[in-house]
Structure 1
C-alpha cells in the first residue's frame, strides 16, 4: 500500500493498538469465511462450519 496517510496512521498507533487492529482483522476474516461456508452448505451444523473454518485457516499458507 503506497498511501502515505495510511502509513502515518499506522506509525501513530501504539503496539497495543496495532495488535488489537490485527486481531479484529483476523476475527473478521474468520467470520466472513464462516458466512461463506454457511451459504455454500446450508445443511451444515455450526460445528461443521467452524471445523471447516479452522481447516481453511490452518492450511491457508499451503
Structure 2
C-alpha cells in the first residue's frame, strides 16, 4: 500500500481503537455488498441464497 497522506495519518492516529474497529467493520461490509452486487450482475439467475453463499465462500478463502 502507498504511504498515507499526512492528513490521513493524523486522522487515523486520532481515532480510538473502537472507531478503528468500526471503520474496519464498515469497510468489510461494504466489500461484501459490492461483491454480492457483482455476482448478481454476473449471475442474474442465481437466488439470493446462492449469492450470499458464494460471497461467504469468497471472503472465507480470500488471500491478500
How far the C-alpha of 1:24 sits from its partner, in A, is 0.2
CA RMSD of aligned residues (A): 1.2
How far the C-alpha of 1:53 sits from its partner, in A, is 0.2
Misfit runs of 4+, over 3 Å: none
SS in 2 for 1:44: coil
TM-score (norm 2): 0.92
Counterpart of 1:33 in structure 2 is 35
Counterpart of 2:9 in structure 1 is 7
Structure 1: gaps of 5 or more residues: none
Q: Across the two proteins, how many residue pairs are aligned to each other?
A: 62
